[in-house]
Structure 1
Amino acid sequence: MILVNMVSIRAGGGLQNGLSFLRQIYSHSTIKNKIQVVCVSGGEIESFCRENCLNYEVIPGGRLGRLCFDFLGARKMVKDNNIDIVFNIFGPPPLSVFDSYSISGFAYSNIIHKEVPFWDFYPLRIKIAKKVKDFFRLLFYKFSNEIILETDFLAEKARSGVFKNKIVHVVKMEPSAAILKEGEMIKKEKCARRIDILYLSGAHPNKRIHLLSKLFFDINSMSEIEFGLVTTLPEQNEYTRYVNRCFMNDGAERFIKNIGPVPSENIATLLASCDAVINVALLESFSNNWVEAWEFRKPLIVTDADWARHSCGEAALYIDPMASGDAARKVCDMFRDHMKIEHLIKKGEEKLEEMKSSGRKIDRYVSIIEAAMNRVEVRG
């Protein structure tokens, strides 16, 4: 039996991938009857499991519920259900089952890229707390027998660094099954005199949305067509308020439209309604934004960094958001040249085909789980 641990999944790309995993895993007759899902009560994961009559259990939400699960509940669940493997789609294994065979998805690229000042956005006190949390996060991950990463670039660094004594797999990203299904019937209808660029993201300083105030001011200063930034940030959030202040201070408040967090079933509609997708994060493991842009044939604008270039190749326009003038010229030039946009879209389609050539993501997951089942059987 396999315990699929989805307790750490809440929203954003993690939720999209979690739902996509569940939609597809039950098409595999080899393991579908061996899966027990555990998730937080009241979320989209529970709703999906209930509506589709999946085998699942829930734990209470909040920190107390998570602590009880990590230190007590998971062990009882493993014992009661005769669990052989704990599969943590995101996050480390619960501490109470550290002696069980576990496989864990790892997306904390800042722990692998130690050279990147990932937490420098924060005051010293918070930065120290974040680094301490990362220390323990890595410590808990090391109880895993196998680690899953999203890019070859990260896997190579991990095998020679923090996970050099672990079995390390790569399962490459693909568009969410929910987005593909919803996007099939969507047509774009919008004003041709405004170009909307979508930053589909939660509120985190690493996303560097605050730097885009100067960029959008500069773009609109040099363009005859208005450019707008569409964001999906929670309104009552400190970082969201900071972003709004930056756009106001730079005279760019009319160029940003925050529509708030978007339910997974509405993401396809949102992607179809925009003209481009942007992600200028300081560091990512692999961004859902990339495959979403490629799947919806939207030009992709990303951070000019080695990790981004390794994943996106020629399928993105690279900018430095801290050099707003140069970045603005690159964006304007792209939208003035239809051939450049078509080139990016074509390269994005090629990237998707390249991902598909290594097999469906769900097939890679199942292959990893089945191999682990064989190891457990031999070991046990």
Structure 2
Amino acid sequence: MKILINCSTLSGTGVTQVAVSFIRECINIQSNEYHVFLSKTVSRELENSSFPSNFFFYTFEHHPIYGIKGFKIRKELRKLEKKINPDCVFSVFGPSWWTPLKPHLIGYAYPHYVYRDSPFFKNISFFQKIKINVFELIHLWFLKRNGKYFVCETEDVSKRLRKLFNCTEENVYTVSNTYNDFFNSYKRLEENILPEKVEGEFRFLSLCSFAPHKNLVILNKVIPLINSKFPGNKVKFVLTVDNDLFNKKIDDSVKPSIINLGRVDVDKCPQLYDECDSLFLPTTLECFSANYPEAMKMKKPIITSNLSFATSICKDAALYFDPYDEKNIVEVIEKLISSTRLAENLVEIGCKQLDIVLTPRERAEEYLKICKEIAN
């Protein structure tokens, strides 16, 4: 099978990790010919020269939707598809912003539009709601225009998307997200990424962007309460967010309790987990966060939002809190820090829970199985 893998629109951390992991796993599935469209962000994560001769890469410097340059990119994408003549096109996440001639599978990753019952919508401004509504119209219109087949990361999202698009089961597939293969081959670097710990320090890792639904601004309320219970900045929060947003959204008074690294390369993520003590994810909207299986793989306890997208994946392998209740969050943090046995128990359950999550290789095989099915 000749497959065109489209990653020309991807720039976010989570979607980039999925794309990079999938492309790398395709090396082990040698029966196909792979033509890969890369954005600048995805391209930086891959060494094209390390791939075998059945891979062909095309890097695009600009996003295909913006302005005159975007128009030229879309024209080039169509021209290349016609020249390559693939059996199938797989846009790892959509919209693709252009409509291929061949059967097109599109990854779906917009929780805002399928989880309208999330408490997130009760805690944002009127103008934020208007902005989301406008983007919803644009994104959903292009998703339906660009392709006929979709793949989601949980069955719950697939069900909701079928209802949203009023389409049949045959048009929406489910393939679970998972950790990157870097977590299988992880070897600790000689130098630490983070500063040396002080005695008694406990570190929570939030490996995500500063998008509003990630709810990291809750740290402005959580940290003062934590410091009153654990004096001396002994509880630290490790972030990987844009520095400008960090300086704008996080109060100066709580910054001594935060280590912000900025964007981190995918291959360094396992070591970040290794240097921290627990995953802290106060997110309010997800299709599937890879942070959960990553933390399980690295044997770290999880504390996260008590919402269905989290509980359906983690089950008893996590402690849960109300993401908008700083007192409840602090209670859960204190509970975890105060009990080594509890942390160990969460890790044990997480290791068992990880058995039902697809491996990166299995996920790649499932994606390609769908591509072959729609190509036929």
* Aligned residue in 2 for 1:84: 87
Q: Is the 8 A contact 1:301 1:318 kept in 2?
A: yes
Q: Per-residue deviation at 1:372? A: 1.8
| 3-state SS in 2 of match to 1:267 | helix
Mapped pair 1:243 → 2:249 = yes
Query: Residues 95 and 142 of structure 2 are in contact (CA less than 8 Å); yes or no, is this contact kept in structure 1?
Result: yes
Alpha-carbon shift at residue 209 of structure 1 (Å): 0.6
User: Which digits, 9 at most, give the CA deviation of each residue in 1:40-79, with x for residues without a partner?
Assistant: 2475357432443530112222434444333x22221111
Return the letter of the residue paired with 1:230: V
Q: Identify the match of residue 221 of structure 1 among 223, 228, 236.
A: 228
Alignment match of 1:196 (pick from 203, 211, 224): 203
Pairing of 1:136-285 with structure 2 (within 5 A): 136-143=138-145, 144-162=147-165, 164-165=167-168, 167-183=171-187, 190-223=197-230, 226-237=234-245, 240-245=246-251, 248=252, 251-285=253-287
Partner of 1:26: 27
**Structure 1, residues 232-269: CA drift from partner, whole Å, max 9, x if none?**
111123xx234322xx3xx4332112121111122122
Q: In structure 1, what is the Cα distance between the partners aligned to 2:230 and 2:99? A: 58
Equivalences, count: 364
Q: Say which is worse superposed, 180-189 or 311-320, in terms of deviation.
A: 180-189
Map Cα deviations across residues 219-240 of structure 1 (whole Å, 9 max, x no partner). 2222368211111111123xx2
Q: Deviations over 1:279-317 (max 9, x none)?
A: 111111111211111111111111111222112111111
Residues 313-352 of structure 1 aligned to structure 2 (within 5 Å): 313-352=315-354
One-letter amino acid of the counterpart of residue 167, structure 2: K
Pairwise CA distance, 1:325: 1.8
Q: Work out the CA distance in 1 between the residues paired with 2:247 and 2:360.
A: 42
* Structure 2: gaps of 5 or more residues: none
Structure-1 separation of matches of 2:142 and 2:271 = 38
Partner of 1:113 in structure 2? 115
Q: Deviations over 1:331-356 (max 9, x none)?
A: 11122112211121112111210114
Task: Indicate the percent of aligned positions where both proteins have the same amino acid.
Answer: 22
CA distances 1:153-199 after superposition (whole Å, capped 9, x unpaired) = 21222233335336111111221012332347789874441101011
Q: Measure, in 1, the Cα distance between the counterparts of 2:111 and 2:324.
A: 21
Please list every run of 5 or more consecutive structure 1 residues that lacks an aligned counterpart in the other structure: 375-380
| 2:35 aligned residue | 36
Kept in 2: contact 1:46–1:58 (CA 8 A): no
Q: Does 1:68 align with 2:75?
A: no
Residue 66 and residue 367 in structure 1: after superposition, are their counterparts in 2 closer, same or farther (change >3 A)?
Answer: same
Letter in 1 for 2:265: P
Matched AA of 1:52: F
- Structure 2 distance, partners of 1:176, 1:163, is 33
Question: For residue 49 of structure 1, what is the amino acid of its counterpart?
Answer: N
Offset of residue 6 of structure 1? 0.5
TM-score normalized with structure 2 length: 0.88
- Bigger mean CA deviation after superposition, 294-303 or 321-330: 321-330
TM-score normalised by structure 1 residue count? 0.87
CA shift at 1:24, angstroms?
Answer: 0.7
Q: Is the 8 A contact 1:5 1:88 kept in 2?
A: yes
Separation in 1 of the partners of 2:361 and 2:28? 15
Q: Which has the higher contact order (CA 8 A, sep 6+)?
A: 2
8 A Cα contact 1:19 1:45, kept in partner? no
Q: Distance in 1 between matches of 2:374 and 2:135?
A: 29
User: Within 1, Cα distance between the matches of 2:371 and 2:353?
Assistant: 26
CA RMSD of aligned residues (A): 2.6
- Alpha-carbon contact 2:7-2:42 (below 8 Å) kept: no
State the match for 1:377 in structure 2.
Answer: none
Cα distance in 1, alignment partners of residues 314 and 41 from structure 2? 36
Distance 2:86 2:358 in 1: 32
Compute the displacement of 1:151 (Å). 0.9
1:182 partner SS:
coil
Q: Secondary structure at the match of 1:198?
A: strand
Indicate if the aligned counterparts of 2:27 and 2:51 stay in contact, CA closer than 8 A: no
Q: Secondary structure at the match of 1:252?
A: helix
Q: Distance in 2 between matches of 1:132 and 1:173?
A: 28
Conservation of the 8 A alpha-carbon contact between 2:316 and 2:346: yes
Cα deviation 1:94-113 (Å, max 9, x = unaligned):
4342x431001101011111
